[in-house]
Structure formats: structure tokens, C-alpha cells
Amino acid sequence: MTATATLSESVRHTINRLARREGLHASTVWRWMLHGVRGVKLRSIRVGGRRFILESDWLAFSAALNADLADAPADPTPADVTARAEKAGRELDAVLGSRCRSNANC
């Protein structure tokens, strides 16, 4: 398959159209193409003096930026937060002892 065939079969977006679709400003898309973000640049192609972003390049860029989120722990539940706060309270009591329970200035 030639580059021309690949280009004609791919979904192409102008910078402005992609920015509108994603709720971004066009200058943000330009900055991502020129400078990148977190070491990842958004690839683009130039056809007849106009810049286009292929849908596959947009998806690859998005996936690269969000790869670290796949390994991130889930948000804690309210029960988890309560349990951690109670544990911290017990640890604080163990360190400070009973002297702070009766003294408001410690």
C-alpha cells in the first residue's frame, strides 16, 4: 500500500476541526504538534501547504498520554477514607499519648 492510498483511506482532521471536536483551542493543538507534552508530540502531515492530523495519530497521542492512568489506583471510597483517618488518629494517639486528649494547646 502506498502513502497516497493510506492517506486517502485515513480520516484526516484540520487543526481547527480537531480542536473543536475535542473542546480545545487550536493553539493547544499547535503546541502539542510543535513542542509536545510530557515528551510526546502529536504527529501531523502537510498536504498542499495545509496541516492535517490523522485520526490514528490522534488516538496514538491520546493513548501515550493516558498510559500512566491505566496503572493508577482507583479513587478511594468514602469507607477507605474513613478507615485511613481513623488509623491516622490511632497512630497520632500512640505518638502523643494521653497528654493531648486533655490539653487543647498541644
For the chain, give every domain's residue range: 3-70, 73-106
pLDDT confidence of residue 50: 93
pLDDT confidence of residue 80: 86
CATH 1.10.10 holds for 3-70: yes
Three-state DSSP state, 98: coil
Rounded to two decimals, the pTM is 0.58
Measure Cα distances from 46 to 7, 71, 73, 96 in Å. Answer: 11, 35, 40, 67
Q: For residue 68, what is its C-alpha cell? A: 500512566
Q: What is the mean pLDDT of each run of 10 residues along the chain (106 residues)?
A: 55 95 96 93 94 94 84 78 90 76 60
The DSSP secondary-structure symbol of 47 reads E
pLDDT confidence of residue 1: 45
